[in-house]
A and B are shown apart, each in its own frame.
Chain A
Amino acid sequence: MSESTAETSASSRRLRASMLAVLVSFSLIAAACGGGSSDADSAVTADDETSEVTDSETTEAPAGTAAPSGPATHLVPDDFPTIQAAVDAAASGDLILIAPGTYNEAVDVETDDLVIRGVDRNTVILDGQFELENGIRILGADGVAVENMTAMNYTKNGFFWTSDITGYRGSYLTAIRNGDYGVYAFGARDGLLEHSYASGSPDAGFYIGQCFPCNAVIDDVISEYNGLGYSGTNSGGDLYIINSTWRFNRAGIVPNSGSYEGCAPERETTIVGNLVYGNSNPETAAIDAALLAMGNGIAVIGGIDNVVERNRVWDHDVAGIAVAPFPEDNPINRVPDEYPVDCLENAIPALPDDAASLPGTLFWEAKTNVVRGNVITDSRTADLIVVQSKEHGNRFCDNDVSSTLPSDLQTLAPCDGELLDLGGEAFVVFLRLIEETRPPSVDYQAVDLPDPGPQPTMPDAESAEPEPARKPAFPDTTSITVPDAPE
C-alpha cells in the first residue's frame, strides 16, 4: 500500500484518529516539560547552607569551589540539609552521598560530572507528594550520574536528564507513581540506565528520546504497570535495550517517530534478550499513545532499521511484536528528506515555510526493520504483525511463532531473499484496532501498584569512588540468548 492509498483508507478514521494523534503528540510534548526545585526548599537552602558549611565536621572544600586534591564528598543531611544545597555547593566530579530518609525535594542539577548517590536504594526516598514535578532534573549538565535511590509521587518525572547532554547514567534507581515518566532522558547521548525499576507512570517507565546517535544502553531494568514500558521518540543509533523485563504495562517496548520533536525519525534501536509479557494491562494510568498501542509486546511505530532479536514475548491481546506506521495528525513538519546524522538539539524543530500546505495526516512508515529469532506465544491477534507493504522492506526470520499477520509472513518477508507482496489483511486489522475503544486511563495517583519489595542495592555505596557518566560500552548482542521465562 502506497502512502497515498494509506491516507485514503485512513481518511474515514480521521475524525477519531486525528483526535488521538493530537492528544498523543500533545501528551508527549507535555511530558517533555519539566519542573524545578521547590521554591520553599530553595529559599531555605540559601540560609542553611552557610551555617551548615560552618558547622561541617568534614574537610572537603567549601561550597562552590573544587578541592584541588580531587573530588569531594558532600553528605546529606550531615553537611547540607537538602540535596539541592549539596548539589549547588558541589564542584564537577564531586560525590553527593545521601543518608536514608524521605526528602520532599525537587532537585535541579546544572554542574557537570556530579555523582548523586543514595546510601541505600530502598530507604533513600525522594517524595514529590504530588506537589513537586521532578525528583532529580539534570538541566544541560554533562556526565551526571544518579545512583541508588527511589523517587516517587512526582507530578512529572522521577529522574529527568534534558537538553543537549553528553554523558548520563542512572543506576539502581526506583521510580514509582510519577505523573509522566519514571526515568526520562531527552536530548541526551552517551547514556546508561541499568539495574533500575519503574512503575506507575502514564507515559513510559523508561524513555530515551530525541538523539542520534544516542550511544545509550538500557540494561537489566524492570518496567511494569506503566502506560508504556519503554518509549523512545526520534531516538536511535547505538541504542540498546537488553536483558530487561517489560511486563503488565498497556504496551511493552514502543520506539516511535513524530514531527513534534527533533531528530526524527526513530531508527537503529536494538532490542535483544528481553522478557516481554502481559502488556495488555487495562488497570494502569495511560497517555493516549499507550491506549493506542495497548496489547502489544514490542511495537515499532513508524521506526526504521530497528533490530528486534531473541526476546521472549508472551501473553498479549494484539501482537507479540508489531511493525506499523504512525499516522500523525496536524504534523508540524514533514518526514525529512535526509535523516539527521548528529542530532540532540532542535527541541522545537524549525517550522517549514509553507505551513499551510502540510498534510493533515503525516504517515511515518516503519521501514527496513529486522525481527529475528524471537520466541512469541499466546498472542490473541497474531504473534507477529506487520502493517506495511513489501516496499518498506521489513524482514522476519527464525521467529518461533504460531501465528502471523499476514500469514506466512516469514516466507513473504524473509531476512534473506526476495520480498513478496504482503496483501492488505493487516491494514484492515490495524484500522479496526485504531477504532477500538480502550479501557480509559486510571488516575496515576490512585492506581493500584504492586509492591516491588526491596530492590537490589548498589554494592559498596558508601565507599565506591564516584564515576561520572561517560559513553557506555556497547553490548555484544550476539552473545545474548533468548532468556528463560520466570518460574
Chain B
Amino acid sequence: MARQRLNVLTLLLVVALVASSCGGTGLGATDTDAVAASGDDEPQVLGRPIDPDEVSIDLPSEGPYQGSFQTFCGYSHSLQDDPIVSPGVPGVSHLHDFFGNVGIDATSDYETALADDSTCAIKQDTASYWTPAVFLDGVPIVPTQSLAYYRVADGVALEDVVPFPADLMMVAGNQSSTEPQDPTHAGWSCGNSPNITAEPTECAGSSVRLRLVFPDCWNGEDLRSLDNSHVARSGSSGCPDTHPVVMPELEFSVMYPPFDPRAEMRLASGSALTAHGDFWNAWNQDRLANEVARCLRRNVYC
C-alpha cells in the first residue's frame, strides 16, 4: 500500500515536471534532447544507455526499421468539437469520432486530459485521436476500433528519435481537399491490405480502414498551429532544418464495419477525399518516453 501511494505521488511529480517544462512557448529542441538522453539521472524512465557488453542489439543506421510499439484504442465518443481548430468552443465543428482519452471535448486542457481514462490497451496512453465521423446514406456509423502504431521513418537515425513533446497537437491529411491526397499520408484500405487508395474501394464485405500517417518532424517551438506548420515530414535525408526535432512516426487507423457498397458514403468534413485526423499528445509522457527509448531507439518490436 505504501509503495502504491509513493508510486502515485512520484508519478504526479513527474507528470507535473513534464507538464510545467512544456507549457507556455513549448519545449525547445534542446530540452527535448536532454529529456531523451538523460541516461544517468533517470535510467528507468528512458531505458538504459546501450552497453555493448551487456546487450546483443545491432542497430541499423537507416530504415526500414522494425522497432515499434502499438496499441488498440476503442471508439470513445463523438462530438461536434475540435480542440485544435476551435478550442474552448463546443459544438461548432463537424462531427468527430474520438478514440483513446475518454474525456476530450472542446474545453479540455492538458492537465485534465492526463487524469482521464483511456480506451487504449495501453492504459497510460491517455492521448486523444480524432477523425471525422463517417456517414452512410446520411447515418453516422460507429467505428469498430482503432490502432495507434508508432514507428520510426526510414530516413531518420534511431538515436535522434525523441518523444512527441507533451501537449503537442497536430493533424494528418487535409480536411479541405478536393483532390486525391497522397495515400501514404491519408487514405483508405480494406482491412490490413497495403493497397491504400485516396478513396475507399469495394472491400468484398471486409472491414474498411481509414489510415493516417502523421508528420514526424517538429520545429522545436510550437505545440500547435492552425495551419499545422509547426510539424513536417521527414524524407530520405531525415527531418528538414526548419523542423529538426525527430519524433516517432504515428500511423493511426480506424476500422469500420463493412460498408454496403451501394450506400452513399461521406465524411463529416466532405467527400472521402477529405480524410484527415488529429492527434493530441496527452500520453503519460513518462510512459511514452519509456516506449520510445526501449522500443524505437533500440529497434525492438514491442
Indicate whether A356 sits within 8 Å of B123 (C-beta atoms), given known contacts A33-B302, A166-B56.
no
Indicate whether A40 sits within 8 Å of B8 (C-beta atoms), given known contacts A19-B206, A46-B43, A140-B300.
yes
Q: Does A332 contact B (CB under 8 A)?
A: yes
Q: A19-B205, A43-B11, A140-B300 are in contact. List 17 more A-B contacts (CB 8 A).
A: A16-B205, A30-B147, A33-B121, A36-B295, A36-B302, A39-B284, A39-B287, A40-B8, A44-B7, A111-B55, A139-B294, A139-B302, A329-B206, A347-B301, A348-B151, A355-B193, A360-B204
Rounded to whole Å, the gap between the CB of B62 and the closest CB of chain A is 15
Rounded to whole Å, the gap between the CB of B215 and the closest CB of chain A is 20
Cα distance A186–B44 when bound, in Å? Answer: 24
Q: Does B3 contact A (CB under 8 A)?
A: yes
The stretch among B45-53, B78-86, B100-108, B268-276 that forms the contact with chain A is: B45-53
Chain A 456-486, CB within 8 Å of chain B: the 1/0 string? 0000000000000000000000000000000
| A108 and B294 form a contact (CB under 8 A) | yes
Rounded to whole Å, the gap between the CB of B292 and the closest CB of chain A is 10
Rounded to whole Å, the gap between the CB of B49 and the closest CB of chain A is 10
| A260 and B192 form a contact (CB under 8 A) | yes
Indicate whether A15 sits within 8 Å of B294 (C-beta atoms), given known contacts A21-B206, A133-B121, A346-B66.
no
Q: Does A42 contact B (CB under 8 A)?
A: yes
Cα distance A91–B298 when bound, in Å? Answer: 18
Q: Does A47 contact B (CB under 8 A)?
A: yes
Cα distance A31–B147 when bound, in Å? Answer: 12
Chain B 286-302, CB within 8 Å of chain A: the 1/0 string? 11001100110011111
Q: Does A163 contact B (CB under 8 A)?
A: yes
Q: Does B110 contact A (CB under 8 A)?
A: no
The stretch among A81-89, A275-283, A400-408 that forms the contact with chain B is: A81-89
Chain A 81-115, CB within 8 Å of chain B: the 1/0 string? 10011001001100000000000100010111000
Q: Does A34 contact B (CB under 8 A)?
A: yes
Q: Which residues of A (348-362) have their CB < 8 Å from a CB of B?
A: 348, 350-352, 355-356, 358, 360
Residues of B close to A36: CB separation below 8 A? 69, 287, 290-291, 294-295, 302
Q: Does A305 contact B (CB under 8 A)?
A: no
5 contacts between A and B (CB under 8 A): A18-B190, A30-B70, A155-B123, A329-B204, A358-B195
Interface residues on A, range: 35 or more
| A34 and B302 form a contact (CB under 8 A) | yes
Residues of B close to A40: CB separation below 8 A? 7-8, 10-11
| A33 and B69 form a contact (CB under 8 A) | yes
Rounded to whole Å, the gap between the CB of B91 and the closest CB of chain A is 34
- Could you say which of A46, A84, A140, A156 has the most chain B C-beta atoms within 10 Å of its C-beta? A140
Nearest A residue to B287, CB-CB: A39
| A34 and B69 form a contact (CB under 8 A) | yes
| A22 and B54 form a contact (CB under 8 A) | no
Contacting B14 at CB < 8 Å: which of A39, A260, A330, A347? Answer: A39
| B290 and A39 form a contact (CB under 8 A) | yes
Residues of A close to B34: CB separation below 8 A? none
Q: Does B89 contact A (CB under 8 A)?
A: no
Contacting B57 at CB < 8 Å: which of A46, A140, A331? Answer: A140
Cα distance A350–B66 when bound, in Å? Answer: 10
Residues of A close to B66: CB separation below 8 A? 163, 345-348
